[in-house]
């Protein structure tokens, strides 16, 4: 189901989210449906008004290589390098910002059967950092813009 997106300056976007303790399948589907309809490459639960530590990404679908991913109770456990990208945000339309992020991150998250870790690089790493920020109440406006 496509949900309404919460827009800045709604204070809900500044609230850190609670861990998920129940099955997130329906919420994950709604996040993916809403992200594709927006159309974006990532979307976090607070962006649809839900207090839950979950986000979705699909960094390749606009290039014809779909790879929908769901991350429950995510946490960056390691990072390295630095990259600068221009980032947009579905909750802050028409406000792109050049932001520095790690070039690679190791993300721990709840998988289907257990907690797992996976390494992401390049644009995928930046997207994960962006969406994880949303779960902590941080927006792209809070990062210094890189010239």
Quick one: tokens of 46?
């607070």
Nearest CA-CA partner of 1 in 39, 31, 46, 40: 31
pLDDT tens, residue by residue, 21-60: 999 999 999 999 999 999 999 999 999 999 999 999 999 9
**What whole-number distance in Å separates Cα of residue 119 and Cα of residue 113?**
19
What's the confidence (pLDDT) of residue 100?
98
For residue range 68-108, list pLDDT tens digits in order.
Answer: 999 999 999 999 999 999 999 999 999 999 999 999 999 99
Alpha-carbon distance of 36 to 41, in angstroms, equals 8
- Indicate the domain borders of the chain: 11-142
User: CATH classification of 11-142 is 3.90.45.10, yes or no?
Assistant: yes
In 3-state terms, the chain is what percent helix, strand and coil (to 5)?
A: 30, 35, 40
What pLDDT score was predicted for residue 82?
98
Residues acting as catalytic residues: 131
- The model carries a pTM of 0.96
């Amino acid at each position: 189901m496509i949900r309404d997106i919460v827009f800045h300056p709604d204070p809900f976007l500044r609230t850190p989210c609670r861990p998920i303790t129940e099955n997130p399948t329906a919420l994950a589907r709604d996040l993916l449906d809403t992200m594709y309809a927006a159309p974006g490459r990532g979307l976090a639960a607070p962006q649809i008004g839900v207090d839950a530590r979950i986000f979705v990404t699909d960094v390749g679908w606009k290039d014809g290589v779909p790879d929908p991913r769901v991350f429950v109770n995510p946490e960056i456990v390691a990072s390295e390098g630095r990259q600068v990208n221009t980032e947009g945000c579905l909750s802050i339309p028409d406000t792109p910002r050049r932001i520095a992020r790690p070039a690679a991150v190791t993300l721990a998250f709840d998988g289907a059967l257990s907690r797992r870790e996976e390494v992401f690089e390049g644009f995928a790493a930046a997207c994960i950092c962006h969406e994880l920020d949303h779960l902590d109440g941080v927006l792209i406006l809070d990062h210094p813009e890189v010239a």
